[in-house]
């Protein structure tokens, strides 16, 4: 039985080498495809749509070098529904297949918010989010991006009480 397995293994190995196409199957001829380096940086304006009363327009900056991207943003909504909301956030992006025209990304957003209402006066929130999205290059180097995010938990401190909640949202932005 061992001789039969050895003979079959030898036949399979030699036959695959004998009929191999040297242009496609030879290890010596394979070349790894190198993507052109991608470096983007732009300021952006956007709006954050979610299922909470804390929605706001934002301004920010994004930087990308190849597969890694970093960003920062500031959102303020003024007094809407007797509520003042401000948020500062930092985020990190990962671009699986970076390119200059259109690309997908995933990432982590780490925001810190301060909210003032007439009822509760003020409280702060920390609601890290996981997101994925896509950005598009427009004419003259401008960008358009959209992302969907999931907040697994929002940690809020309001008058000494801690609350925990999750949410889902959508963000759209224009980079210049």
Helical segments of 1-143, H only: 2-18
pLDDT number for residue 85 = 86
Amino acid 17: pLDDT: 46
CA 103 – CA 58 distance, rounded (Å): 22
Question: 106 to each of 19, 26, 67, 175, how far by Cα in Å?
Answer: 43, 35, 10, 18
Tell me the fold of 39-175. Answer: Porin (2.40.160)
- Is pTM beyond 0.85? Reply is no
Euclidean distance between CA atoms 45 and 145, whole angstroms? 10
Cα separations (Å) of 143 from 46, 47, 138? 11, 15, 6
pLDDT of the residue at 3:
58
């Amino acid at each position: 039985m061992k001789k039969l397995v050895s003979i079959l293994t030898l036949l399979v190995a030699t036959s695959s080498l004998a009929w191999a196409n040297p242009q496609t199957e030879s290890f010596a001829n394979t070349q790894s495809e190198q993507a052109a380096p991608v470096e983007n940086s732009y300021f952006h304006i956007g709006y954050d749509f979610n299922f909470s009363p804390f929605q706001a327009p934002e301004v920010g900056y994004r930087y990308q070098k190849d597969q890694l991207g970093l960003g920062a943003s500031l959102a303020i909504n003024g007094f809407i529904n007797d509520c003042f909301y401000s948020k500062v956030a930092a985020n990190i992006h990962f671009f699986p297949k970076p390119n200059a025209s259109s690309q997908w990304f995933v990432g982590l957003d780490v925001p810190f918010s301060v909210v003032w209402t007439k009822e509760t006066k003020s409280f702060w929130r920390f609601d890290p989010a996981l997101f994925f999205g896509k950005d598009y290059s427009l004419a003259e180097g401008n960008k358009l991006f959209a992302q969907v995010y999931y907040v697994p938990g929002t940690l809020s401190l309001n008058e000494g009480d801690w609350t925990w909640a999750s949410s889902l949202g959508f963000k759209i932005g224009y980079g210049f």
